[in-house]
Amino acid sequence: MAMSDEDRARRTRGALLSAAAPDVAEAAEAWLARLAHERRLSAKTQEAYARDLALVLLRLTAHLGARPTLADFAHLTPADVRAVLASRRADGVAPRTLVRLLAAARSFGRHLEREGQGKVGALAAVRAPKVPKSLPKPVSPEAARALADPATRAGEERAPWVLARDAAVIALLYGAGLRISEALGLTPAQVPPGVDAITVTGKGNKTRMVPLIPQVTAAIADYAALCPYALAKDRPLFRGAKGGALSPRIVQLAVERMRGALGLPQSATPHALRHSFATHLLARGGDLRAIQELLGHASLSTTQIYTAVDTTALMAAYRAAHPRA
């Protein structure tokens, strides 16, 4: 049975508190409450912060020989922090993971300073590892349409409503640029029949308005008509085989099967469809600010990465076609 978000968050919180000395555990509880209520971070982001701080505490325990107290935190040296990062690097983790660990520790350190529980200057003194820049890898418009077409999976021994369900989710990812968590978080009340725009709750509980093209509303209507479960207005729109909320993993597996059949690379994931949404809009002359709003990006710089993707494709076409390239 799949673990619910609440159970997973509770387990992660428990792991954090068990890795901490009593005074650090108390401070960590207050820190997590601040992340939830003042910064309004999503439950998944809070869970990630808690998991990363728990890892830092475990590595500090191994390094110092005992669970670190608040006094230990205040006396950390840059060498202590580097030792923690080096131990994780030795495990083969990526630089991006090390950056995330350091960010969680720094956030907790800022909380301690704000509460007058000591300064942790060593965390700020250590430079974060460099993360190699990578461009999003969108799929072609033809591939995106094939992934959202139930006919692509016609040979699979699956119930028609399951194929229609997966197609509707994928249509939302590519046709509306939603994150998979946003699509699976929708309720029937948010997507009534014939609607041409929906309100989506994204990262940090921020809401945005997203238009729906007819192909997307048609895919959702097809799924709703075939779904064997009663779709209560305040329950999840997309259901699993036993009637519970649909797991993101099920959608990921569906895309994996289709990319094999379509000969697509491993980079063709559900999230790549969101990249494709942005890239294809930009290629058709879409306004960067408008795309930022549609994607729910807090910063325009996050959206600007798609201009690099579009330029890369343009230069590849130029080199392939121009006689003197």
Question: Which of 203, 208, 235, 257 is an active site residue?
Answer: 203
Q: What is the SS3 assignment for the chain?
A: CCCCHHHHHHHHHHHHHHCCCHHHHHHHHHHHHHHHHCCCCCHHHHHHHHHHHHHHHHHHHHHHCCCCCHHHHHCCCHHHHHHHHHHHHHCCCCHHHHHHHHHHHHHHHHHHHHCCCCCCHHHHHCCCCCCCCCCCCCCCHHHHHHHCCHHHHCCCCCCHHHHHHHHHHHHHHHHCCCCHHHHHCCCHHHCCCCCCEEEEECHHHCEEEEECCHHHHHHHHHHHHHCCCCCCCCCCCCECCCCCECCHHHHHHHHHHHHHHHCCCCCCCHHHHHHHHHHHHHHCCCCHHHHHHHHCCCCHHHHCHHHHHHHHHHHHHHHHHCCCC
Say whether both 194 and 283 belong to one domain.
yes
Say whether both 85 and 234 belong to one domain.
no
Task: Indicate the number of domains in the chain.
Answer: 2
pTM above 0.75, yes or no: no
Say whether both 220 and 82 belong to one domain.
no
Last residue of a domain, one of 98, 125, 152: 125
> If 0-12 CB within 10 Å is exposed, 13-18 middle and 19+ buried, where does residue 199 land?
exposed
Half-sphere CA count of 100, side-chain side, radius 13 A: 17
| Catalytic annotation present for 275 | no
End-to-end CA distance of the chain: 56
Closest C-alpha to 220, from 185, 188, 181: 188
Say whether both 109 and 157 belong to one domain.
no
Q: Is residue 133 part of a domain?
A: no
Residue 81's pLDDT is what? 92
Question: Which of 49, 174, 223, 306 is an active site residue?
Answer: 306
CA 163 to chain CA centroid, Å, is 24
> What is the spatial distance between Cα 292 and Cα 147, in angstroms, rounded to a whole number?
24
Q: Is residue 134 part of a domain?
A: no
Residues of the domain holding 25: 5-125
Say whether both 171 and 315 belong to one domain.
yes
Last residue of a domain, one of 91, 125, 159: 125
| Catalytic annotation present for 203 | yes
| Catalytic annotation present for 179 | yes
| Catalytic annotation present for 111 | no
Say whether both 188 and 289 belong to one domain.
yes
Say whether both 111 and 169 belong to one domain.
no
Say whether both 109 and 41 belong to one domain.
yes
Q: Is residue 245 part of a domain?
A: yes
Residue 168's pLDDT is what? 94
Say whether both 156 and 236 belong to one domain.
yes
Structural contact between residues 306 and 279, judged by C-beta atoms closer than 8 angstroms: yes
Strand-pair partners of 239: 245
Last residue of a domain, one of 95, 125, 155: 125
Question: Which of 100, 259, 274, 275 is an active site residue?
Answer: 274
Q: Is residue 132 part of a domain?
A: no
| Catalytic annotation present for 318 | no
> What is the spatial distance between Cα 229 and Cα 177, in angstroms, rounded to a whole number?
27
Question: Which of 13, 165, 179, 239 is an active site residue?
Answer: 179
Q: What is the pLDDT along the chain (325 residues), one digit of tens a residue?
A: 445 556 666 777 777 778 888 999 999 999 988 888 877 777 778 888 889 999 999 999 999 999 999 999 889 999 999 999 999 889 888 888 899 999 999 999 999 999 998 888 888 888 888 876 666 678 888 988 899 888 888 778 889 999 999 999 999 999 888 989 999 999 999 998 888 888 888 877 778 888 898 999 999 999 999 999 999 998 999 999 999 999 999 999 999 989 888 898 888 889 888 888 888 777 777 777 777 777 777 776 666 666 665 555 555 555 665 565 5
Residue 267's pLDDT is what? 86
Q: Is residue 280 part of a domain?
A: yes
Q: Is residue 130 part of a domain?
A: no
Say whether both 118 and 150 belong to one domain.
no
Cβ neighbours of residue 66 closer than 8 Å, sequence gap 6 or more: 21
Q: Is residue 305 part of a domain?
A: yes
Q: How crowded is residue 204: how many other Cβ atoms within 10 Å of its Cβ?
A: 12
Q: Is residue 196 part of a domain?
A: yes
Say whether both 154 and 116 belong to one domain.
no
The CATH number of whichever domain residue 293 belongs to comes to 1.10.443.10
| Structure token pair of residue 108 | 């907790």
Say whether both 72 and 221 belong to one domain.
no
Question: Which of 82, 110, 235, 271 is an active site residue?
Answer: 271
| Catalytic annotation present for 289 | no
